[in-house]
Each structure stands twice: as structure tokens, then as C-alpha cells.
Structure 1
Amino acid sequence: MSARLHWLWLATRAPFRPHQIAALLAHFGSAEQAYAAGSAAVAEVPGLTKQQAASLCDKDLAGAERISDACERLGASVLTLADTAYPDRLRQIPDPPAVLYVRGALPDLDALPGLAVVGTRRPSVYGRAAAEKMARELAEAGFVIVSGMAAGIDGEANRAALRAGGRTVAVLGCGVDVCYPAHHKALMGDILLAGAVVSEYPPGTEPAGWRFPQRNRIISGLSVGTLVVEAPQRSGSLITARCALDQGRDVFAVPGNIGVSTFDGSNRMIADGEAMLAASPGDIIAEYAGLLRRGRPAAAHPAHAAVPLTKAAQVAAPPRAVPPKPAAPPAAPAKAALPAHLTDEERAVIRAVQAGADTVDAVIDAVGQPTARVTATITMLELDGVLSREGGRLRAAAAYQ
């Protein structure tokens, strides 16, 4: 029996989140051993719910076989965490996908630097031009442009890399056989000729809003750094930037006009010292000059390292001075009313944190919504200043405690 079927079986265990599958692999040692584990061995796994234990005891491989057959028909390859072709850079993140579905030819992103380029789906003329210039010149310099093939900045970045004769990777929030948005069908075909389309979702998986925030960690995880071209305050591209920061990767942002709302989020990251200002492609190329010359991966840093992944492996330069964030305002004497624009789901997350749920997992359990949807909601609330993290623990902002 093919070991790949066991990986497909494990990756599709519905009650498990990506980081929990990583924990299962650490516990059992491999997907094959997880599949072979009997009920007694499963009972020894700490922290399992009844539903999760039942899922591990279900040894039906029919679903895995269907996925394998679909990949064969598509000509798609399946990379697992056990494969040498699986990108090491992605393997280093806290919650790597156990399985990566690939169409096209995935560039060696451990030898060639991937640079994520992301931004709003409704860019300004300036933002679109900036994305084209940045992605084109970065591709010409030797970067693999990684993006989400979404409307707006993402698609512009993928397209500019192709025009430059470079390589590009599109990370989808659906199956690799599903083109989303539909009007990017020609772009998707071009990407398949000069790079790859990848996803953690099996073929046939339709796009859903909550899947896109979850895929963003893969966009940043494949890359040495993330460039935010144009992003409003509540933007999915800022989720990618937050993922990059959590992964110990570099973040850059193109400066935009003050007072233009579609640049509020990216400008704020520059102001807060979370993103390095990228006024030209040269600002980014200079950061990775050694990596581009060598054509091999930078030294790895553990996830959540304070020093970005790529810096220490290049030149012995002093660390970049990062301006301190402004001090938090003093706590209000009385709890402030929550902002009126918040959705019911955002309010549910805040109530969970106010009730004592101080980790992402605890909030997910309290709210009962899909992981990616809750993590995206938490990020948006952080961007709004309603939630904050202190020592890795979630807290409501002082005004809302």
C-alpha cells in the first residue's frame, strides 16, 4: 500500500487543525504509524476529543484513494512533509500543511528566494503600477514571486513576474483544479507554464471565504519575506503580513498617500516598525543580495524568532533599528462600548476573550467556528485595536476589559 495514501488519510481528518496534525506526527512518528495505531494507542494521545479519537480510529482509505485518483487525472503531484521535495522553508512554520497539492513545476524555493507580494483586491492606479514594477523587477533580479492569484494586487504580481520571464507560484484557497477568480483562467494557465499552482486543499475543493486566511500562512511560509503593496486597515493581505511576522520572516510595505484609506493598513505597519519601507525594488534586493548571489537558502531560524529568517544568513550587518511602538493609552475608567461596525462573529470572539479565553485555540473552542475564520477574525480585531497579544496571550484592549 502506498504510504502517500496514509498521508492523504491523515491530512483529511476533519476534526484536526494543521498544528494538531503536526502534533500527531510528532507523537506517532509518521502518517503510516498514525494509521496503524489501534484504539489503545489513540487513547494515549493527550488532549484528544471523542470526535478526534473516533476520526483516528476510522481506517477507511476510500477518500484518500479518490483524492489520489483525482491528482493522477490532473497531473498534479502530492508533496508530504516526509518528501525531500517539500520546501524546507515551509516546513519550518508552526503549522505547515501535511500535504501540498502541486500543479506545474514548483521552483526550488529553498535554493531560490521566494518573495510574497500581496495587497488589496481593489487597488488604486498607483497601487497597481507599484505592484507591477515591484514584482517585475524583483522577478528579473531572481526572486520567485509568490502570491494568491486573487483579483487586484495579487494577480498583478503573478502577471508581472510572467512578463519579466521569471517564475511565480500561486497559492490557492481552493483545489488546484479550480480557478478563482474565474476571470483569471488565462493567468492560471500561464502560471502553470512558468511555475506552479499549489494548495493544501484536495482537488475539487471549492473556494470559501474562511479558506483564504488559512492559505495566507503558506504564501508567507514559502517566502523569505512579504511585500504589502496596498492594504486598507481591515485587509486579508495584512493577515499574510502577520503570518510572516509570526514565522520570523521579513515584512516590507510600499508607502502610500496619507489619507487614502486603501493604504491605511500598510502605512500603519511602516509607522509601527512592523514593516520595512520599500520605496523601490532595490530596497528589497539590497536586503537579499547575498542570498541572490549564492542561490541557496538562508540559515533557518526557529519559528517566532525575533530576528527575521533571512537576515542573519546574509551579511554581518548590525540589526535594523526598529522604532518603539507608542505606549498604550491608560485604561479607561469604565468599559467602552464596542465599535458599532463589528460583526456578530467578531463580538463573539471578543466576549470569549473577555470571559478568559486567552489563546487562539481557546477562542476557537469557545466560538465553535472553523479555525481559519476565527484566526482571521482575531487578526482583524487586533488591527482595529480591540484585541492585543501580550506574551503570546490574547487580551481585550484596556478600554474593553
Structure 2
Amino acid sequence: MSQISVRQEILALKAYVPGLSIAEIQQKYNLAQVIKMASNENPLGMPPLAREAVQRHADMGFRYPQGGNPRLVEALAKRHGLDPRRVVVGNGSDEIIDLLIRILAEPGVHNLVCFEPCFSIYPIQGRISGVEVRRHPLNADFSFDFDGLLSKVDANTRLVFITTPDNPTGYCPPRDEVAQLAAKLAQIAPACLLVIDEAYMDFAESEPDSSLLASGELPENTAFMRTFSKSFGLAGMRVGYGILPPSLADYCWRARLPFSVNILAEEAALAALEDTTFYSFTMQTVRQGRNALTVGLTALGCNVWPSAANFILFSLPENTLSAHDCFETLLRKGIIIRPLNSYNLPGHLRVSIGNEAENRTFLLAMDEILLQNRHAEASAANRECK
């Protein structure tokens, strides 16, 4: 019998839970067409210029990319008006998050701090690395309790993570509050890095008013995460990047696996940066769709939380079906949204903004589900009266 064993942290680990795929729902329910509104992907698909770039460079798939992806680094530095030495690109921003934990936090000694709930990669990668994970609950309205978060910080805290706009809530704190958090953290724990994950920041109504990065304010103890998965429509290509203090960026390049951003992903990302027409249409589509879904779900009696992202958090009207039953009923209708059990929010659901037709189909399905539920409840009540 094999004597291979794994670390205790891995034995207790709960894996990241991705959104369901179109193919598995088509197969499970024998559906010809499925709408996916679960994983916060771009509702318009892949940028045309990026698709053309992948096709144009496909015959180079046998080559390694240039080490360090210098063209992409330069393009990102130009986009943000930054020194290229601050930029690190990775196989999704997840890779850079993992690198930062492993570079900065010593297993069994240091800790990281984040909210509960939050993007689950932070606590998962922390636990994989053998780092203590400390969490502080969001406020009842899902806003951020920064003072409470800071109360978890001590001399052994090496990273504090926040997502803004937040996932899964869509909440976006005022920029000045984030700046104050960075300043207070520098005083409490000078060796700690504040990681601001801005994966959804493009979708805020005013990016410069919401983002320290976009405003050009870069505290020395702060790192920013960005991704090509959302507004740039390249979730399947896996490209993300971090804007870091230059010395820390250098350590990330040393520790990063070589060639983690493949040659086709790099070409797609470079082309996506140039496809300003697609980017502008994405912003318009998401913001209009976000408003339409907010208005539509509210009209159906749902509780809808304000969102600055490309998704909406909502709960169903009181005394109606459960979030789980609603999710399952939508699946049978060929619509995938996201149940939030993995975020410890079993009574809530998250729906990604789709295109106009997808949003309309989702709202019609929700109307039908809630109407059927009301009829079923009325029939049950009549039977009890008899």
C-alpha cells in the first residue's frame, strides 16, 4: 500500500467552486441551448481584434513566448501611465495573488486578513501555503468594515486583501476610504502589503473616482490586481496582471513559473488593449444591462444590492421558494446563474450581466418561476381551508 501522504492543510481544504459550464447543463437536462450568466464573463464574447490575433498567430503555438512578456508589460505600463518595473503579468491574476502569498508569508508564522465573504482564492491559496487566514465579516448591508478588518491585523500579518468592486456583492467603497485603509495599515503593520483586487473596477460608473490606481495614487504598501477576464473578454485565455512596488515586482518575476502567459494569450491581450471599440461597447452593454436587471428584479419583488461590477447580488421575495430551488429551476430552463453557498450566503444568488437578449430571457424566466410559486402557494392554502 502506498505511504504517500499530504499536508494537513490540504486534507482540510475546500476547493474553489467554479460556475457550472454550458456543456454539463446541456447534457444533464438535454437542452439544445443554454445561457450562462454565472461566471462574470464578458457578455459580448471575445474582442474581434483578439480573435483575429489568435488566428493569425496560431501557427506559432509551438514556440515559447518571449521571457517576461515585455511587449505586454510595456503596453500595460503605457495604459496606466506607470513605470514598467511595477508591472507583473501572470496566468490570470490568481497566479500573482498566489505568488504574493508565497513570497511574503512564512508558513506557520505569518497570517493574511480578508473579509467574509470574499473571493475565495485568497483564503484557499493562503491555506495551501500554510498561512493562517483571519477573516472579518462584512457589514449587514455588505459594505466594508475597514476598522474591523484592521482589528485582525498584528505584527505577523503580511497581506490584507480587499476586492473593489467586491465579489460577490458588487459593493465599491469610496476611494478615500481605501486610501485611509492603506495609511492606517502602514502605521499598524509596516511589513504588511495591502492587495486591492480591482478585477471589476472598469465597470464602476466613474473609475477615477473609485480606484486609487486609476487616480494615480499608489501607496508604497499597496498592490493592485487587474485582469483580462472580464471587460477584455479573455477569461479562457488566462491573462492577469499586478501593479506592485518595483522591488516586490522583481521578486515576483524571479518566483513566477517561466512562460506562464502563453504566446497566444499574450497576442490576444495585446490586441484586446487595442480594440477600443469593443471595450467601449462592453462598458455600455454592462452598465445598461446592470440597470435593466436591477429594475427588473426589483419589480419582481426581489431584494437587489447596488453593484458597481458586471454582476448583481439578489435575494428572492420573502415567503417564496428557496434560492436553491430557484437556481435549480433556472437550470432546467437552460439558464445558469450562481448560487452562493460557497460564499456562505445560501439565501442569495448572483447573476452576471448578459447581453440584451440574455437579460430579457432571464427576467422572463424569473417572472414565470415566481408566478408559478405564488400559484402553488395559493392552491395549497385553498386546500388547507377546505
Would the TM-score normalized by the shorter structure come out above 0.5? no
**TM-score, with structure 1 as normaliser:** 0.27
Q: Which has the higher contact order (CA 8 A, sep 6+)?
A: 2
